[in-house]
Amino acid sequence: MFEVAERLKNVKVSASAAMTRKVRELRAEGIKIVGLSSGEPDFPTPPHAIEAAHRAALAGDTKYPPQDGVKPLKEAVRRKFQRDNNLDYALDEVMVSNGSKQIMYDALMASVNTGDEVVIPTPGWISYADQATVAGARPVFVSCPENNQFKLRAADLAAVITPRTKWVVLNFPNNPTGAVCSRAEMRAIADVLLGHPHVMVMADDVYEHLIYDDFGFCTIAEVEPKLKERTLTVNGASKAYAMTGWRVGFAGGPRPLIAAMTNMQGQIGSGISTISQAAATAALDGPQDLLKERAADYQKRRDEVVAMLRAAPGLTCHKPEGAFYVFPNIAGCIGKTTKAGRKIDSDTDFVTALLEEKHVATVQGAAYGMSPYFRISYATDVASLREGCGRIQEFCRELR
């Protein structure tokens, strides 16, 4: 009889993935769902990236690739880090993976031992803690409250680092809040990390190009070059270039870590799709104007969504500086009852009732480590955003 392995018994299916699956099921039943739960850009993949993939396929570039990525893409990644982040990595300090998610999995599996600790700012992406758990480490959460704009405070970070801390995860712009650290705030975090030379830093910069209101982006190894030798700078093509399905992530980091990660990746698969790598190379080396154009479009959506949510009774909504999420507070709705008679005792109750009664899909804040909030992705068309936010307003007005 099958029994789940111990390493998976405390790992749940991602709440956002579960909600996406539920939406597909309801739509298959003919129910019109407004999907605001998926963190997936609605823009198309750049045409020149698709054309590059087509050319690669026609040219016979369909064989097993090197496990750490093909040289043209690694060279493009190196140029990207130089151009955007003032970071210079040698080719053997760069690797490519099946999305940035696998980069982080490879890193944890290649580096942590049982009892090691991984510090994770919360609210934070669901998979950080789950990957740490699978790898045998213990997730240590450090709260980033709304009264600090959901940003990591240096003093709070310092308070949780112990001799067993192996990694500190940094994700700004943040999923699920959209929070972005200023250079001064990142400098304060760097100063804490300089005092703990045994700690590695995982900088998940996948939302790097989604920054608004002229708010500048910075990454930790750029702010403090002394940390570069123990920082893994993670990024990918999914969010910036709308290439989620192509599955291309990449990272720059210390040579011994990259070698260990490549070994780990070799045990999982035999490298990354050559066709996807050709597309990502073209995206990284091609015209970059689309990044600012799309960020400007997202900023307009953010502004409209925040305004509509602030008009909903019982909700408050912080205006984020980046990514394509908002993280509204539903404290004013707790304890109330929906029109259909459901009691709202938690953010999970809220999103469940919102889906079932108004057919709007969102994700509860509890999944990201902070309640009572819920996450909305505005990476969808404006008509859907207006319809979804209108239904949320109606849902809140009907609470008693």
CB neighbours of 49 closer than 8 A, spacing ≥ 6?
Answer: 241, 243, 246, 279, 280, 282, 283, 286
Quick one: three-class SS letters along 42-61?
CCCCCHHHHHHHHHHHHCCC
pLDDT number for residue 223: 98
* Three-state secondary structure call for residue 190: helix
| Maximum pairwise Cα distance, the chain | 64
Comparing CA positions, the residue from 259, 264, 211, 208 lying closest to residue 237 is: 208
Question: Are residues 119 and 165 in contact, defined by beta-carbon separation less than 8 angstroms?
Answer: yes
pLDDT number for residue 4: 86
Comparing CA positions, the residue from 185, 199, 180 lying closest to residue 156 is: 185
- Strand ranges inside the chain, DSSP E: 34-35, 94-97, 117-122, 138-143, 165-170, 200-204, 231-236, 249-252, 325-326, 360-361, 363-364, 374-377
User: Tell me, what amino acid is at 227?
Assistant: L
Tokens of 374: 């819920």
* 376, β-bridge pairs: 326
pLDDT number for residue 23: 81
CB neighbours of 133 closer than 8 A, spacing ≥ 6?
Answer: 7, 10, 11, 139
CB neighbours of 223 closer than 8 A, spacing ≥ 6?
Answer: 183, 186, 187, 190
Show the domains of the chain with their CATH numbers: 6-44+291-397 (3.90.1150.10), 49-285 (3.40.640.10)
- Residue the block writes with tokens 């011994």: 256
What is the rounded distance in angstroms from the CA atom of residue 248 to the CA atom of residue 184?
31
Comparing CA positions, the residue from 13, 16, 18, 10 lying closest to residue 374 is: 16
Question: Are residues 186 and 171 in contact, defined by beta-carbon separation less than 8 angstroms?
Answer: no
Q: Which pLDDT tens digits describe the chain residue by residue (400 residues)?
A: 888 888 888 887 777 777 778 888 888 888 899 999 989 999 999 999 999 999 999 999 999 999 999 999 999 999 999 999 999 999 999 999 999 999 999 999 999 999 999 999 999 999 999 999 999 999 999 999 999 999 999 999 999 999 999 999 999 999 999 999 999 999 999 999 999 999 999 999 999 999 999 899 999 999 999 999 999 999 999 999 999 999 999 999 999 999 999 999 999 988 999 999 999 999 999 999 999 999 999 999 999 999 999 999 999 999 999 999 999 999 999 999 999 999 999 999 999 999 999 999 999 999 999 999 999 999 999 999 999 999 999 999 999 9
What is the rounded distance in angstroms from the CA atom of residue 37 to the CA atom of residue 288?
28
Tokens of 373: 């909030």
Tokens of 98: 């099946």
Dihedral Cα 67, 73, 79, 80, nearest 10 deg = -90
* Three-state secondary structure call for residue 297: helix
Crossing angle of helices 15-28 and 347-358, in 10° steps, is: 20
pLDDT number for residue 89: 98
> What are the respective helix, strand and coil percentages of the chain, to the nearest 5?
45, 15, 40
- One-character DSSP codes across 360-395: EE-EEGGGGT-TTBEEEE--S-HHHHHHHHHHHHHH
